[in-house]
Amino acid sequence: MSKDITHHAALPKETTLNLMKRLVKSYLAPYWVSVLTALLFMALAAAMTAAVAQLMQPILDEVLNGKKTDMILPVAAAILTVFILRGISTYAHTIMMNKVGQSIVADIQKDLFSHFMVLDLQFFHDNPSGQLISRVINDVNVMRIAVSDTLTGFGKSILTLVFLTGVMFYQDWKLSLIAFTIFPFAALFVARLGRRLRKVSTSIQKELGGLSDRLSQIFHGIRQVQAYGMEGFERIRAGEAIDNVKNLNIKSVRIGNLSTPVNEILVGFVFFGIILYGGHEAAEGRMSAGQLGAFIAAFTLAYEPMKKLARLNNTMQTGLGAAERVFQMMDLVPNIQNESGARDLAHKTPCITFTDVRFQYKQGDTHALDGVSFTAKSGSVTALVGPSGSGKSTVMNLILRFYDAKSGHIEIADQDIRTLTLESLRGHIALVSQDITIFDDTIAANIAYGRPGATQDEIIAAARAAAAHDFIESFPKGYETQVGEDGVKLSGGQRQRLSIARAILRDAPILLLDEATSALDNESEKLVQGALHKLEEGRTTLVIAHRLSTVQNADQILVLDHGRIVEHGSHEALMQEKGLYAKMYQTGLRD
């Protein structure tokens, strides 16, 4: 049921080596001092493990046989010292590498979210929010476990294996070769399992994204779900998504643990060979009991890092499956971005000019705008009216550069908006949309959104201008009231007045009002209209209104139909033409 991310362009699959190189170069390199220090502690811990195996020879040959009682204390002290050093060094490198691993994944999470912030609006229209949230949280959390465990475990396991192998070859090189006959078979098997696990991991993250998206939609639309009695239907759909994730996780565990019985069988054969060969060597006097004991101890201790490396490879491949999905997102190039040499817009009352602008949202769609030309003079009010789908909101989307026109030119202050930096362009615009966004924060923070550092007096003044101060003060905590997700604790009119207060506080030279009073009752609308008229003074304003009475005083009215301007002029002139505007006015779109 899950829907995968829609990409701006097809992206190639990353190999394990390329993914590891990217992780190391981009994210591990900044922590090289900590990693190097941790590796020194790992080497110390590994050496102490090998020392335990090596000390088995004097313990068996000289201490336990009772021939050299003077060796008991030194050997016992050596064993104690080895375990103390191993314990301290293990703790040190585990803490240090865990910190590095957590820091790396936090850096990736920040970079991924930051990259999402610069992707264009079309990307967010094409990809459900639940999928994107899953990338930032679920995928990166899988990476967090993989990176943290891998960094901590791989280094120590390999170093331990190296030191213990040295002990084994020191005791008997022939026996060592017998013991290592299993390595090529085990390595090939583990590599094959790793590839399968990576595929399963990618599927799990995909299904988790679908589940996150499904739950987000259900919770967001809970009023409709309950109003239409669809709880059972949604319970089944959510259950199917949960079962898909469950089944994939079971499959992942089944594949990941296949290495255990295979390794155990292979090691059993090796022990069989060690005992068979070593027993004969000891019986013939060519090897002491201590040497054989030290060898067996070294091999037994080496078996643990061997098993751990197999498990870590499984964990790493699972993490790389998630990393691949994360890097696919980070490699997307936004369609809307600053051009080379883009300049800042610096104008207090800029004019806006459209010249033969054509635009379609997707290739093959009908044109949302088809040859639109007009000029909104500096400090004037331009109203956009027309039937639903005529292109009114598209005009505002293009001014904000949420999208770029397919042809034609849009200029602000006689500068093509593509030559302006996005930051300065949008910094000159205040938007009040019919799609109101209220964040799960305080009322004061919602009003001040878009103008960090605003004082409390400025926030209150903006709220008064938007006819919002009185209802805000009616809450027990006033401006510090938490309004809930999407302003759920507020009425539609209250939410709209907060969005208007936000625009008033922003104090931008260009004002875009997209049905800014659509959710207000008549009394509130009259109050807010007065505030908006005052706000429009000295600004270049574009207004979309569902009540034509609210735009009668506009300096010019543009009537759009099917993406074209079919009429323009003042209210009086358009009424005299008796065209589309007059028809709309007379059929109920006035008061």
Which of 186-190, 206-210, 285-289, 562-566 is most confident?
562-566
Distance CA 356, CA 203 (A): 47
8 is a domain residue: no
> Same domain for 232 and 321?
yes
21 is a domain residue: yes
Average per-residue pLDDT for the chain? 81
Please, which contacts does 84-91 make with residues 24 or more away whose CB atoms are closer than 8 Å?
A: 85/44, 85/45, 85/48, 86/44, 86/45, 86/48, 86/49, 86/52, 89/41, 89/42, 89/44, 89/45, 89/48, 90/41, 90/45, 90/156
Categorize the per-residue pLDDT at 4 as very low, low, confident or very high, splitting at 50, 70 and 90.
very low
Distance CA 315, CA 7 (A): 27
CA nearest to 63, candidates 74, 52, 51: 74
Distance CA 297, CA 51 (A): 10
Distance CA 563, CA 386 (A): 10
343 is a domain residue: no
Distance CA 152, CA 174 (A): 33
Q: What's the pLDDT tens digit per position in 464-523?
A: 888 889 899 999 999 999 998 878 888 878 888 888 888 889 888 999 988 877 766 777
Residue 2: per-residue pLDDT? 44
> Same domain for 212 and 268?
yes
> Same domain for 274 and 365?
no
Element (H, E) at 411: strand 407-412
> Same domain for 507 and 381?
yes
99 is a domain residue: yes
Residue 134 is which amino acid?
Answer: S
Domain count, the chain: 2
Categorize the per-residue pLDDT at 293 as very low, low, confident or very high, splitting at 50, 70 and 90.
confident
pLDDT at 3 over 70: no
Residue 7: per-residue pLDDT? 43
H helix count then E strand count, the chain: 22, 10
> What range does the domain containing 258 cover?
16-330
Residue 589: per-residue pLDDT? 52
Q: What's the pLDDT tens digit per position in 445-460?
A: 999 987 888 899 999 9
490 is a domain residue: yes
Q: What's the pLDDT tens digit per position in 404-422?
A: 999 999 999 999 999 999 9
Residues 48/88, Cβ–Cβ less than 8 Å: no
> Same domain for 308 and 411?
no
335 is a domain residue: no
Distance CA 373, CA 352 (A): 11
133 is a domain residue: yes
Residue 8: per-residue pLDDT? 45
Q: What's the pLDDT tens digit per position in 529-588?
A: 777 777 788 889 999 887 777 788 889 999 999 999 999 999 999 999 888 988 888 876
> Same domain for 504 and 565?
yes
Categorize the per-residue pLDDT at 373 as very low, low, confident or very high, splitting at 50, 70 and 90.
very high
Q: How far is CA 337 from the centre of its chain?
A: 20
Q: What's the pLDDT tens digit per position in 319-366?
A: 777 888 888 888 888 888 888 888 998 877 899 999 999 999 888 788
> Same domain for 270 and 303?
yes
pLDDT at 591 over 60: no
Q: Which of these three, 330, 363, 396, is where a domain ends?
A: 330
Calculate what percentage of the chain has a pLDDT beyond 70.
Answer: 89
> Same domain for 360 and 309?
no
> Same domain for 401 and 548?
yes
Q: What's the pLDDT tens digit per position in 503-513?
A: 889 888 999 98
> Same domain for 358 and 252?
no
Residue 11: per-residue pLDDT? 44
Average pLDDT for residues 1-15, to the nearest whole number?
48
Residue 14: per-residue pLDDT? 64
Q: Which of these three, 330, 362, 381, is where a domain ends?
A: 330
Pick the more confident residue, 258 or 96: 96
pLDDT at 393 over 70: yes
Q: Which of these three, 299, 330, 361, is where a domain ends?
A: 330
Beta bridge partners of 358: 370, 407
150 phi and psi, to 5 degrees?
-65, -45
Residue 61: per-residue pLDDT? 64
Query: Any alpha helices (H) in 172-288, and if so which ranges?
Result: 173-179, 182-220, 222-227, 231-256, 259-283
- CATH value at residue 580: 3.40.50.300
> Same domain for 258 and 363?
no
Residue 12: per-residue pLDDT? 47
200 is a domain residue: yes
> Same domain for 289 and 430?
no
Categorize the per-residue pLDDT at 381 as very low, low, confident or very high, splitting at 50, 70 and 90.
very high
Q: How far is CA 504 from the centre of its chain?
A: 32
Q: What's the pLDDT tens digit per position in 219-273?
A: 777 767 777 677 888 888 888 888 888 888 787 777 767 766 776 777 677 777 7
- CATH value at residue 159: 1.20.1560.10
